[in-house]
Every structure is written in structure tokens, then in C-alpha cells.
Amino acid sequence: MDIELYGKSIIDKAISGGGDEAEVYVSKKKSTNIGVKGQKVDSFEQSATLETAIRVIKDGKLGFSYTTITDGQAVGRLVKEAIENALSNEPDKYTSFAAKAGKLPELGIYDSNLPSISEAEKIDRAMRVEKSALSYDSRVDKVRSASYGDTTKETLILSSSGLNVSWLETICGSSIEVTAKDENGSEVGSDYDYQRYYSNLKVEEIGIRGAKTAIDMLGGRNIETRSVPVIIENTVASQFLSILASSFKGDSVQKGKSMLIGKTGLSIVSPKVNIIDNGRLEGGIGSSPVDDEGTPTKCNVLINKGILTGFLHNRYTAAKENIESAGNGTRGSFKLPPSVGLTNLYINKGTLSVEDLMSDIGDGFYITEAMGVHTADPISGDFSIGTSGLWIKGGKKAYPVRGVAIAGNMLDLFMDIVEVGNDLRFFGGIGSPSLRIKNLTVCGK
């Protein structure tokens, strides 16, 4: 199907059916997901979908509808429902659709070789992640799950205002979960990664990292409650950043649900910290030439040397502030209208390796896992979570520690960052390097 002709036909129907303005969003996807167990295919799924959503403005009122069916009758219902929904809403002067987007940049988000990769080769990839984990150490008892998956997606956004933009993207991913066992008990480890290009997905490294996280924690012990320097591994630091993330969204600020309200221009975290949301990051999982409203994406610096410089906006929240959209209009699903979302949110990397970060620590704690980060209060920033990791002794990793907890406030924690590592790693659309905290109370026995 020519999705541009399909999209234009929907716009035409919406305007001829009584809409004053219309916007159509079409997503054409093809996905493969493979699971293996014991070097045999445990699951194999392929899917192809065409998802359509329309927004219509009628008398200043916004209506929305969606469908996965493309025949004429379904399209007629789609348009009719959107107009009826609009008529039942109140007028809203801040609603608008994008016009022309201009020339689109090349962002390295589409792998033209992916369609030619055979099913057999993809299955082999899934088997290799499992094999690498099992061969890492004899104490790796079993692989609970190992997978490979990819998606090719074409997106089209049209509007009656003159917008006509489309782009292609690919995502390849793999994951592993293992159990390691010795005379002291067992531990679970996992790892995953996503890449835009098939050749950039290093499945053996994923398997090894997953196995290593389990092996490193064997024989974990508890410790006495102590206040010590702490290093937060990039995996956990990214989870902490995800709690702070919602406070950067313009709609959260406007609804009074951000911990950063009234703090623009103030030093809110350590001057070592720079936080960026970059929708044009080369090869980024969250990168696209325009957002899901058709507004060109941008590189938005949110915190510069500890100082809050601004927030993320889509067309609607930007109109309320009388500013330009930041290119952060995103759809969590085609079944939802655009809201304010993230692209590639990350803490910019520093210059020190993890070894450098811990080199002068006599006694300290290196956090490699945090349980319940999602329970942190996104408005106050308060948290109390369980953690595990490795004790630092004489500047080196000494032994595993588990069954301990940390508590505090997210902004206070980020203010106490004294060094930022050089090991920036993305976990989907959120990334961070490892962080060194000046001092933190680690609650043990």
C-alpha cells in the first residue's frame, strides 16, 4: 500500500466531512521476535501492522480517533468518530497542527541491510547470546531467557495545513537473563541492548554482561549501616534519571506535578552534571527527524553545569507558554494523541573511568542494582529503595553486598555528585555514565 495516498484520502474525507483542519498519523511496522532455550527456538513471532490515527479540529474543538483497518468503510468510521468527538469537546485555542517541516536530516536510524537478513541468521543471533552467557563461567547454572528482535517502521504525518513528512527507522534488540550458582546459593543476572543497526548489536557482549552480573554477586553479604562514598553504576544511574525525567516535561510543570517548578535559572544539581534531551542524536533509539506531531526535533539542554535551563514542550504546552515547541510531541501509542515525551535523555559523560572514580576510596559502595526505583515520588523526589552491589576497599572492588537500602531525595542525591564517569550507556531512550556520590548512608544490618 502507498501510505501517502492512503493518508491523503483520509485528510480529504475529514475536510469534506466537515472538519476545519485535520492531521493523520500512519505507522507501518514489521517485527520479528525470537526466543531460544537450550540452543533451540522456544518462540518465533512475526507481525506486520498498519496503524492509523486522526485528529480533527472543528469549531476550535479537537477530536481524535484511530484504527488498524484500512478498508473504505473503516476509514469512513474513523473520520466520523473523530468529528463527533470534536463536537463533544470544549473549544481550546492552544490546539494546532504542524505545517511544513523543511528538509529532514540524516540521523543514522535506518539500516537498509536489515530486510535482507535471513530468519536463520536472526535465530543464530539469539542462540549466540545464550551460548556466550553459558560459556562465560562454569557457575552459570542456566539461561532463563535469551532473545533477539527487530522492527522496521515507516511513519507518515500529513496535515491539511500542508505538512507532508515521512521517515524510515529500524531497531534491533537482544536480552538475556541467567542464573548462577555455587555452594553459597544462587543469583540472577541480566542484560539487554538496542541498536539502530543490526551489525552494531553485539550479542556476545550482552550474554557476557548478563552472566557477569550474576557471577559477581555470588556470596553476597550484608554490612553494618555506614555513611560512605558511593558509585552508582550507569545501569542504575539511568533508572534514577528516569525518575527525574517526568519533571522536565512541560505538561507536568503546567499541572503542578514537577519537582522543578519555579527552579529555572537555579543551580539544582551538581555543577558536574549536564542533562540533555537530544532528538537528533546520531543513531539514538529516540531519534527522529520530526516528532510525532511533525515538528522538527532538537537538541535541548535542560541542565547546564547544574543549572536548570528549561523544559520540554510539544505544540500544545508551548502554545500555553507562548514559545516554540521543543520537538517533544510523542505518542506512547497510536491509540493516544500526542503528549510531551522524551527523545534521548541523558547525562553527558565525563572523563574518568569507573576505576578512576573509585581509585581513592578507602571504603565505599558500588551500586550495581536497585530494586523499586519506580516507587520514588516523581513530584517530591523522595525515595527509599533496596540495593545490591560491590563493596569498595582500598580503591578496588572487594566483595559483593546485598540486602542493603538507601533513602533520600533525588535532587539532593544529584547535588552530591562529585564526579561523572566516561562510560555513558543508553538503556532505550535514557542514558547515563556512572556517577560518584560524595557520601550516602547505606543501611545494612
**3-state SS string over 417-428?**
EEEEECCCEEEC
Q: Is the pLDDT of residue 164 over 80?
A: yes
A 10 A CB-CB count for 294 gives 27
Q: Was domain 3-214 assigned CATH 3.30.2290.10? A: yes
Is residue 102 over pLDDT 90? no
Paired with 193 in beta bridges are: 174
In which band, very low, low, confident or very high, does the pLDDT at 100 lie, cut at 50, 70 and 90?
confident
More confidently predicted of 99 and 342: 342
Whether the per-residue pLDDT at 41 is higher than 80: the answer is: yes
Q: What are phi and psi of 24, to 5 degrees?
A: -120, 140
Q: Closest Cα partner for 296 from 310, 283, 314?
A: 314
- The pLDDT assigned to 111 comes to 98
Structure-block grid coordinates of residue 67: 484504527
101 pLDDT tier (thresholds 50, 70, 90): confident
pLDDT of residue 445: 79
| pLDDT reported for residue 170 | 98
Is residue 286 within 8 Å of residue 429, measured between CB atoms? yes
Tell the residue number behind the cell numbers 548489536, with chain if given.
Answer: 201
- Tell me the whole-structure pTM to 2 decimals: 0.95
pLDDT per residue over 222-251, tens digit each? 999 999 999 999 999 999 999 999 999 999
Whether residue 192 is predicted with pLDDT greater than 80 in this model: the reply is yes
> What distance in Å separates the CA atoms of residue 213 and residue 217, rounded to the nearest whole number?
7
| Local confidence band at 296 (pLDDT 50, 70, 90 cut-offs) | very high
d(CA 38, CA 50): 35
Domain boundaries of the chain, sorted by first residue: 3-214, 220-445
Question: CA-CA distance, 348 to 363, in Å (whole number)?
Answer: 27
Q: Residue 420 pLDDT more than 80? A: yes
Query: Which residues pair with residue 300 across a beta bridge?
Result: 277
**Span 434-444, average pLDDT:** 95
Task: State which amino acid sits at residue 172.
Answer: C
Helix 72-87 with 3-16: angle, nearest 10 deg: 50
The number of C-alpha atoms within 13 Å of 359 and in the hemisphere containing its C-beta is 8
Strand partners, 290: 296
DSSP per-residue letters across 377-417: -TTT-EEEEEEEEEEEETTEEEEEEEEEEEEEEHHHHHHTE
Average pLDDT of the segment spanning 151-178: 97
Residue with cell 501510505: 3
Instruction: Please report the sign of the dihedral spanned by the C-alpha atoms of residue 239, residue 244, residue 249, residue 255.
Output: positive
- DSSP code at position 324: -
Q: What is the pLDDT of residue 299?
A: 97
E-strand spans in 18-112?
Answer: 21-37, 40-58, 61-67
Neighbours of 119 (CB within 10 A): 12
Average pLDDT over every residue of 270-288 = 98
Phi, psi dihedral angles at 163 (to 5 degrees): -70, 135
Integer Cα distance of 51 and 336 in angstroms: 12
Band the pLDDT of 360: cuts 50, 70, 90. very high
Mean pLDDT score, 14-41: 96
| pLDDT attached to residue 72 | 84
Grid cell, residue 322, equals 507562548
CA distances from 384 to 220, 442, 445 (A): 21, 11, 16
127-131: long-range contacts at Cβ-Cβ below 8 A with a sequence spacing of 24 or more?
A: 127/36, 127/39, 128/203, 128/204, 128/207, 129/174, 129/175, 129/176, 129/203, 129/204, 129/206, 129/207, 130/36, 130/37, 130/39, 130/176, 130/207, 131/39, 131/207
Is residue 428 over pLDDT 80? yes
Q: In this structure, which amino acid lies at residue 248?
A: F
> Three-state SS for 7?
helix
Neighbours of 355 (CB within 10 A): 11
Q: What percent of the chain has pLDDT over 90?
A: 95
Calpha distance 143→211 (Å, rounded):
9
365 and 436 in contact (C-beta within 8 Å)? no
User: How high does pLDDT run on average in the chain?
Assistant: 96
In tens, the pLDDT along 329-339 reads: 999 999 999 99
Tell me which H or E stretch contains 239. helix 234-245
Please give the DSSP secondary-structure letter assigned to residue 443.
Answer: B
Tens digits of per-residue pLDDT, 103-159? Answer: 889 999 999 999 999 999 999 999 999 999 999 999 999 999 999 999 999 999 999
Residue 1 has pLDDT above 90, yes or no: no
